[in-house]
Structures are given as structure tokens and as C-alpha cells.
Amino acid sequence: MLDIPGFTGRVITPGDEVYDEARRVWNGAVDRHPGVIAQCTGAADVLAALRCAREAGLLVAVRGGGHNVAGTAVCDDGLVIDLSPMRALHVDPGRRTARVEGGALWGDVDQVTQGFGLATPGGIVSHTGVAGLTLGGGIGWLMRKHGLTADNLTAADVVTADGQLRRASDEDDPDLLWALRGGGGNYGVVTSFTFRLHPVGPQVLAGPVLWPMEDTADVLRHYRDVVAGSAPPELTTIVNLRKAPPLPAIPAELHKRPVCAVQACWAGDLDAGERALRALRSYGRPLLDLVAPRPYTAWQSMFNSAVPHGWHYYWKSTNLARLEDAAIDVLAEHSLRVASPRSYTLLFHLGGAIADIGEDDTAYAHRRAAHNLNINGVWQPGEPIGDQERAWTRDFFTAIEPHRSGAYVNFLGEEGADRVRQAYGERTYTRLRQLKARYDPENVFRFNQNIPPAA
């Protein structure tokens, strides 16, 4: 067993009983074998683990919730700084802030903050990690009203590559805070995040409306013209094109039926939400309308079981500046070609408060994009359809090429440096490289969607 001087957490190495469990990430297609997994209990452990890795010349990976599709929470051979035991959080209801440890999941945050009638914008699946999602930007059901998760990040405690514990905030280190608001895991290990909270719920008006997938082109034109284009910021929608999953809320006769679902969440006055959603819900002949007042925490976990840990996932994603007719036709055509009942395509509805912030104000760029498209090939371990689902995903992505405009770093797989650059655009990327040279000149934190230091 490796000795990490000063380390108080658990050190796991190959051969340990829990090694296989500890190296596993959400995406079951990722199968890496780190030399050491250092499960940290606090910032002092992170400092000790980093020091040990640097002295031994080991590659470093950093694990928050372990959800990244590229599996960058674990590396081969090197040392994983694993924050999964660090999930505590503290809410200050008077100041409306929450301080959240670097290994927390969104379910942890939602449960505790809702105890005070508060929330900060998170992701749409509550078993996703707070850390990676926040550091890449963070899109979810509250973003159009309250901004990205990163827009609500007011401070962070960060262990930087030089072995210092720094405070990133507007007062203490605004450049570091700027970089953490979208620049990913490139600038250090965040041991705690401080978020701004907002009154939310406890009930939101939320649910999916399902139409037959054959109607996708019509539904999406109506959705664009009557719903998405003019929606108040309280309303966020996500289109989900897939075979209906066997969730308890969906009647058995619809399971596996190809559908065009528009998932909606209204976070505001419920009567106003009923009025705002009427035009969506009354269109055509929906197969099912599950829009209803429900607790925000229930909505946040409603789709958890559709994307469980351990299945194999292959994603391709892009932003769309606008939802043009020709792009809608691609969506309608390619979603119908899906074979696996687990694969799906999500079209996120951006804008609102995201676009109220300047392109240069945070490292998250592309604030004017209207949508993000995420095409997800999914299959179970051992199912011989991986090549087929990957090919479907790639063909779909190629077909949407003429409409692509930038990318979202948190949805990238192992796609190379150009795609990371696309996620930021030239100006932001250049500044991120300069800040990387300041905070991590030797690129210690390189096992990620990497931003190399400026020369």
C-alpha cells in the first residue's frame, strides 16, 4: 500500500477489495486502471495527494461526481484525487448562499437547499456531480431565470498546481474565479464551491408532453415559433427524441414507442405557468401530457433511472445558433433512425438569463446560442450494438454539421483539442491559455478537456 504522508483518507491500489468499484465511473464504456485512488476527506488530503503525485511524477486525474462521459475522473496508471467522500454542504439562508464540498452531487444540494425553499441552478439528473458540471458552465431547469450554475458561483476554495490552497472570488482572485466559471478542471482542485441561492418552488409546474415521433417536424416548428422563441425566463424546455423509456410515470403501452417529448419546467407562479404552457400542451394530438405541479426535488430526479451508472454511452454534441427549418428536418429524420430503446437526443433551450451576461464575463462562451443538441448513443454492457449506436450518433452529428455553432465543454467526449477550442471560441480560449500558464504552467491538470498553457 502506498503511503501518502499526511493523508487521512482512504488510499486504494490495484488488488484492494474495493479497487474495481472505486475506479468505476458513470459511463460503463470507460475502463481505466489508476495506480492509486486517494479518497480525500478535506482540503488537507487534496494537498497531500497532489504533493505525492507531483513528487512521484504521476499523472493526476480529479474526480467529483464521476459523471463525465469522457471518463476523465479516472486515468490509467496515475493518481486519482477522488473527492467523492467530500459531500457536505452548509446553507446560510440569511445570505442566501450555500457552501458545497467538491465531491457533492446535485441531489445533495437540491435536498438541503429546498429545505429552506431555496435552490441554485443545477443539472437535470440529480446523481451528476456538482464540481464538473459547475466548472464547465452548468445548464439545467433554472438557467433561463437564474443563469448557469457557473454564473451563481461566487467563490471557490482551490488547490492549485503549486500546492497552495487559494480562495477564488471577486475580492480575492477574480481571474481565477473567471477561469473556474467554464474553464473546467484546468486550474486546480476545487475543494468547496459557494453558490448564490434563489427562492424556488417547492412546487414547480413541470413534466413532459409526448407526441408520436412521426410528428417531430411539425411539433418542433410549433415549439420554435410559439414556445421557445418567446418563452419568459421562468420557462425552460428540453426536447427529448427517443423511444419512450419504461419510467413509472409512462403507461406501459407507450414504452418503446418512438416519441417527440417536450419536457417543460416553469419555476414561478403556477397559474402564470399554466397560461404560458397552454400553447405547447394544446398543440396537435399529444400521446401523453404529464405536466403538473410537483416538488422541484422530484422533478430534478425524475429522469435519473433513464441514465443509470454502468451503461455504455457515446455522445456527440453541438450548439445551434438558431433552430432552422433544415435543422428541424435533420432532427426529425435522424431521430427516427434510432434502434436502441436507450439512445436519445436532447435539444436544450438556452437564452434567457444566460444571454443577459456578456460573452467575455466568464469562461463559458457562446452565450447567444439558442440551443444545445446532445445526441446520445446508449447500450448495455455486453449488448452487441455498440458499433451500430456509435454509427447512428456520428451520422446524425454529420448531418447537423451545416447548423453547428460552437460546443459545450461538458458534453464533449474524447474528441481532441479542436473541439475544446470550439467550446470556447478564440478570444476566451486565448485568455484561458494565459491563465493556465499562470496557475498551472506545467499542465499538471491535463487529464481533462485540456487547455494547454500559453507558451
- Report the alpha-carbon distance of residue 225 to residue 223 in Å, rounded: 6
- Pick 68 or 216: Cβ nearer ligand FAD: 68
Binding of ligand FAD by 393 (CB under 6 A): no
Q: Cis peptide leading into 202, omega within 30 of 0?
A: yes
Binding of ligand FAD by 128 (CB under 6 A): yes
**Contact (CB, 8 A) for 435 and 183:** yes
Binding of ligand FAD by 208 (CB under 6 A): no
Question: Distance of CA 380 to CAs 337, 377, 396, Å?
Answer: 19, 11, 21
Q: Which of residues 94-113 bind ligand FAD (CB under 6 A)?
A: 102
Q: What does DSSP assign to residue 213?
A: G
- Pick 73 or 290: Cβ nearer ligand FAD: 73
Report the nearest approach of ligand FAD to the CB of residue 190 (Å). Answer: 4
Q: Cis peptide leading into 93, omega within 30 of 0?
A: no
Q: Return the residue of 139, 267, 323, 328 that touches ligand FAD, per CB under 6 A.
A: 139
- Amino acid letter, residue 294: R
Stretch that binds ligand FAD, among 49-57, 181-189, 287-295, 397-405 (CB under 6 A): 181-189
Binding of ligand FAD by 184 (CB under 6 A): yes
Q: Return the residue of 140, 207, 233, 406 that touches ligand FAD, per CB under 6 A.
A: 140
Report the nearest approach of ligand FAD to the CB of residue 119 (Å). Answer: 14
**Contact (CB, 8 A) for 74 and 80:** yes
Report the nearest approach of ligand FAD to the CB of residue 276 (Å). Answer: 22
- Report the alpha-carbon distance of residue 345 to residue 87 in Å, rounded: 31
**Contact (CB, 8 A) for 407 and 423:** yes
**Contact (CB, 8 A) for 422 and 406:** yes
Helix (H, G, I), strand (E, B) or coil at 361: coil
Identify any residues that bridge with 326 across adjacent strands, giving them in sequence order: none
- Pick 217 or 311: Cβ nearer ligand FAD: 311
Q: Return the residue of 11, 89, 91, 133 that touches ligand FAD, per CB under 6 A.
A: 133
Contact set with ligand FAD (CB under 6 A): 26, 62-69, 72-73, 83, 102, 123-125, 128-129, 131-133, 135-140, 184-185, 189-190, 307, 410, 448
